[in-house]
Amino acid sequence: MSIKNSCILGAGTLGSRVALQSSISGFHVRVYDVQQKSLDFSLNTMQKILHQLHKSGQISKGQDLDILSRIKFTLDPLEAVEDADFINESVTEDVDIKKKVWKQFGEIAPEKTIFTTNTSYMLASMFAEDSGRPERFCAFHFHDVFYSRVVDIMPHPTTDPALIPILEDLGRKLNQVPVILKKENPGYIFNTMLMALIGAAGKLLTGEVASIEDIDKSWMVNFHMPMGPFGILDSIGLDTAWHVTHKMPDRASVAFAALLKTYIDQGKLGEKSGEGFYQYPNPRYKAQDFVK
Amino acid sequence: MSIKNSCILGAGTLGSRVALQSSISGFHVRVYDVQQKSLDFSLNTMQKILHQLHKSGQISKGQDLDILSRIKFTLDPLEAVEDADFINESVTEDVDIKKKVWKQFGEIAPEKTIFTTNTSYMLASMFAEDSGRPERFCAFHFHDVFYSRVVDIMPHPTTDPALIPILEDLGRKLNQVPVILKKENPGYIFNTMLMALIGAAGKLLTGEVASIEDIDKSWMVNFHMPMGPFGILDSIGLDTAWHVTHKMPDRASVAFAALLKTYIDQGKLGEKSGEGFYQYPNPRYKAQDFVK
């Protein structure tokens, strides 16, 4: 099947990025949210990214207007799914909200529409049935679209296998590297590995083996990377990391979640709050002399 | 104290690299081994690295002769430690061999000599007492010296704390980024985190969640890295990885060690044997179209 019209549910940061890339790739895009202020935020987010893409020479002057002209923002569900070949849902990470949204859109979407969710912390099987068409439903999970260009394709037990190559092709058209999961797995592929790394770093810290800075240096210098695990945690958000680790039963995770909580209780959420393991906007790990 | 004379015990790959960097940094170096063929290998290794450093413009023509002139290869223990300010030991990773070597050199080394071990898989406390001077003894662990420039400084319970700043300063002089461990930890800092990452990748594979290539792609594309965990395993050597994982008791490690064993039993040890998870010299993950 040929995908021309894309519908993005949820105009937050990730939804806006997927919508923008969809238009850059030539699709007609409708962006839906329940609040006008979310749609305004979305347009603003896109304009900022387009400015960056123009500055870095990835799009030419004038192309931004063309790209934005293919995106329609709407509060009307019927307008949002009109003639949609594809839905990608990025609404709030709350299972009841997702169930409600999929029930609503399952009832009004055209028969041809492919249903996908961009959930990071849930599994599609938790709400695919609510859409009424679980066999047309698959997780299609982006990372940040422009810098980290991986899209996870993760079927749930009743996903029609014929969807996989269609989504693989769509992922490539959206300038992503598609990776396929053979079954549902919380955290997909990358987040599973990242959490293992972060958990080990947390254990080194809470076990008083080494300092935050020495743990980050070890990672950065050995792998020639711009950040270590604590810098990465600051950019993810300590609250988000706590959300994932505090449910894990092993002793190291319990100790690390407790440590994260002491930061969170002081309002230190990472880069977004101005302080986490490092202080922003000029964290130590970005200083010239950090890895000397 | 001022360090001028360095003694390297064990002329294998890592010992040779530490010896070479010591000379590049201006120290006088003695390289000791029990076999002439090991010393010949060492000189050959150094010449290859010097050729690379010259090609990449890090040393000038003629400098290589100057660097090699400061290195003396010897089979004689007394000549090896003569006037040594510092010993770094990289002999075979076998506790009985290390105990024997340290007993021998503890008896003949000058009083001023600082004793360090470069062990990757053991703890200094397993053989520091054998040297007769455990308080002058500390782990000083290099990664590969030239690309991954981290040196771990890991005291054991009776290391004199005054050694730490001396080794920190020495690490910087050897063009490394020193990181300090507050106590002994198997795998130091980096290997602890790397093994957690590799363990998670192994679990995704043995749990039949995703393919080797898709697991590596997820890591490479999200972090803009030239290798994923299975590419890294191939470069470490599957036998070395098995050596570490097969003693771990958790179910995922047991499954992963069993998987590694099936490769090892077929002679697939990674890059060094021509095949591991990928085939060499042109593994798929290095192909232009791999992350497309």
My answer on whether A81 and A147 are in the same domain is yes
Distance of alpha carbon B233 from alpha carbon A86, whole angstroms:
39
Distance of alpha carbon B152 from alpha carbon B168, whole angstroms:
9
Nearest CA in chain B to A145: B222
My answer on whether A272 and A215 are in the same domain is yes
Tokens of B86: 């510092």
Does B292 fall in a domain? no
For chain B, what percentages of helix, strand and coil (3-state, to nearest 5) are there? Answer: 50, 15, 35
Top residue of A120, A169, A179, A203 to mutate, by most chain B CBs within 10 Å, is: A179
CB-nearest to A209 from B147, B177, B185 is B185
CB-nearest to B179 from A199, A214, A223 is A214
Alpha carbon A130 to its chain's center: 22
Q: Do B223 and A218 touch (CB under 8 A)?
A: no
Tokens of A79: 């307008």
Distance of alpha carbon A83 from alpha carbon A110, whole angstroms:
6
Does A185 fall in a domain? no
My answer on whether A212 and A167 are in the same domain is no
Does A219 fall in a domain? yes
Out of B128, B155, B180, a domain closes at: B180
Q: Do B210 and A143 touch (CB under 8 A)?
A: no
My answer on whether B124 and B162 are in the same domain is yes
My answer on whether A157 and A199 are in the same domain is no
Does B185 fall in a domain? no
Ramachandran assignment for A285, one of left (phi > 0), alpha (psi -120 to 50 degrees), beta (any other)? alpha
Mean pLDDT of A217-227: 95
- Which DSSP state fits B115? E
The CA–CA distances, whole Å, from A85 to A7, A8, A30, A285 equal 8, 11, 11, 45
Distance from CA of B197 to the nearest CA of A (A): 5
Tokens of B92: 């075979």
Has residue A232 got a pLDDT over 80?
yes
Distance from CA of A256 to the nearest CA of B (A): 15
For A248-277, the pLDDT digits (tens) are 777 777 888 999 999 999 999 999 999 999
Q: Do B188 and A215 touch (CB under 8 A)?
A: no
Query: What is the tally of structural domains in chain A?
Result: 2
CATH number, domain of B258, equals 1.10.1040.10
CB-nearest to B143 from A177, A203, A222 is A222
Has residue A124 got a pLDDT over 80?
yes
B contact set with A (CB within 8 A): 143, 147-150, 152, 172, 177, 179-183, 185, 188-190, 192-193, 195-197, 199-201, 203-204, 207-211, 214-215, 217-219, 221-223, 225, 229, 291-292
My answer on whether A175 and A195 are in the same domain is no
Distance of alpha carbon A60 from alpha carbon A50, whole angstroms:
10
Does B291 fall in a domain? no
Has residue B82 got a pLDDT over 80?
yes
| Residue B153, pLDDT score | 98
Cβ distance B228 to A220 under 8 Å? no
CATH number, domain of A63, equals 3.40.50.720
Does B211 fall in a domain? yes
Distance from CA of A110 to the nearest CA of B (A): 31
- Residues A98, A99, A104, A105, CA torsion sign: positive
Does A291 fall in a domain? no
The vertex-B152 CA angle with A217 and B10, nearest 5°, equals 140
3-state class (DSSP) for residue B136 = helix
My answer on whether A60 and A93 are in the same domain is yes
| Residue B255, pLDDT score | 84
Q: Do B185 and A211 touch (CB under 8 A)?
A: no
- CB proximity list for A212: less than 8 A, separation 6 or greater: A205, A230, A277, A278
Out of B136, B153, B180, a domain closes at: B180
Has residue A233 got a pLDDT over 90?
yes
- Residues B16, B20, B21, B22, CA torsion sign: positive
My answer on whether A29 and A93 are in the same domain is yes
Does A176 fall in a domain? yes
Host domain of residue B70 = 5-180
CB pairs under 8 A between A and B: 128
Nearest CA in chain A to B152: A218
Pairing of strands B28-32, B71-74: parallel
Out of A180, A203, A227, a domain closes at: A180
My answer on whether A272 and A220 are in the same domain is yes
Mean pLDDT of B180-188: 95
| Residue A214, pLDDT score | 98
Q: Do B193 and A192 touch (CB under 8 A)?
A: no
| Residue B56, pLDDT score | 92
Alpha carbon A61 to its chain's center: 28
Helix axes B251-265, B190-206, angle to 10 degrees: 80
Distance from CA of B279 to the nearest CA of A (A): 21
CB-nearest to B189 from A143, A183, A214 is A214
My answer on whether B32 and B99 are in the same domain is yes
My answer on whether A9 and A150 are in the same domain is yes
- CB proximity list for A19: less than 8 A, separation 6 or greater: A6, A8, A11, A29, A31, A42, A46, A71
Q: Do A196 and B192 touch (CB under 8 A)?
A: no
Has residue B252 got a pLDDT over 80?
no
- Contacts of residue B219 in chain A, CB cutoff 8 Å? 190, 193
My answer on whether B176 and B197 are in the same domain is no
For B10-52, the pLDDT digits (tens) are 999 999 999 999 999 999 999 999 999 999 999 999 999 999 9
